[in-house]
Amino acid sequence: MRYTLDVQYRGKYYAGSQIQFKNGKHIEEPTIQGELEKALSTLIIGGKSANHKQNRQVKTIFSGRTDKGVNALGQVVHFDTDKEIVASSFIYHINEILPSDISVNNLRVVPNSFHAQKSAKARYYRYELINRPYKQAFDGDILRVKYELDVERMQTALNFLLGEHDFSSFKSSGTLNPSKVCFITRAEVEKQGDRVFIHIEGNRFLYNMVRTIVGTLLEIEGHKLPVEYMKEVLEAHDRRKAGQTVSPYGLTLMEVKY
């Protein structure tokens, strides 16, 4: 039987969402997947079996990888088990086991043909930053931009990204999939007080793509470049043309659509 979970997490203290391997060996760093599989195995198989029989652990598939420091409000995960699960008690007990910065919010039975990653039609990310010249005690790790941002100019620049394009200019090295073409259906910016939110939705994303788009927006604003520079970067298919890859701490996977 196949189940899906809606998962939320804060990524600050994890080496990304996925279990890490190097030269075929598991890297002993905490990950969201590692913590979730450990909790699932404890609940479904039993603590002793989960700890001592690795081949019997419950395995999970995520809708997509998020990097170290990236958060999620709407990550979707599927797993298989031959045991029937009661959603209400399961959600309570797994949240008691999971660390305080990871939670499961929903459990559903799905057809075996469903795949958390391959069945996804769109993913929606939000990047949050602070726009004020001075720090405040509760800013946390959110990126702070000291100069005033013009959200109208930023929106005009983002509009060039809508539609289907080769986003090679906005990917970091490490992208495993050779295809660099993505279809962006939403690219919006809004300001609420001293907080700026950048919303980007598309069928797929390249490695560090959203953070590099934000970095390019900030370069355009910081150096007062024409907004058409975003189009120039996009069409160059050259990472050297784009801005820096900004901090991961303001980035959140908001929703996966099927």
The answer on pLDDT for 61 being more than 70 is: yes
pLDDT in the model for residue 39: 96
Q: Cα–Cα distance between 243 and 226 in angstroms, integer? A: 14
Per the structure, the count of domains in the chain is 2
Task: Cite the DSSP H helix spans in 20-84.
Answer: 32-44, 47-52
- Tell me the pLDDT tens digit for each residue of 17-29: 998 776 666 677 8
| The model's pTM | 0.92
Q: What is the CATH number of the domain that holds 106?
A: 3.30.70.580
User: In the 8-state DSSP scheme, what is residue 164?
Assistant: E
Is residue 116 situated within a structural domain? no
pLDDT in the model for residue 97: 96
Per DSSP, the three-state class of 95 is helix
Is residue 7 situated within a structural domain? yes
Q: How confident is the model at residue 175 (pLDDT cuts 50, 70, 90)?
A: low
Q: What is the CATH number of the domain that holds 172?
A: 3.30.70.660
Q: How confident is the model at residue 47 (pLDDT cuts 50, 70, 90)?
A: low
Domain housing 46: 2-110
Query: Do 127 and 246 fall into the same domain?
Result: yes
Alpha-carbon torsion (140, 204, 2, 18), positive or negative: negative
Query: Do 62 and 184 fall into the same domain?
Result: no
Query: Do 97 and 130 fall into the same domain?
Result: no
- Tell me the pLDDT tens digit for each residue of 79-123: 999 999 999 999 999 999 999 999 999 999 999 999 999 999 999
Query: Do 101 and 130 fall into the same domain?
Result: no
Query: How big is the chain, counted in residues?
Result: 258
Query: Do 137 and 101 fall into the same domain?
Result: no
Q: How confident is the model at residue 56 (pLDDT cuts 50, 70, 90)?
A: low
Query: Do 78 and 135 fall into the same domain?
Result: no
Q: Which of 146, 124, 149 is nearest to 135 (CA)?
A: 146
Residues with catalytic roles:
67
Query: Do 106 and 132 fall into the same domain?
Result: no
Query: Do 156 and 220 fall into the same domain?
Result: yes
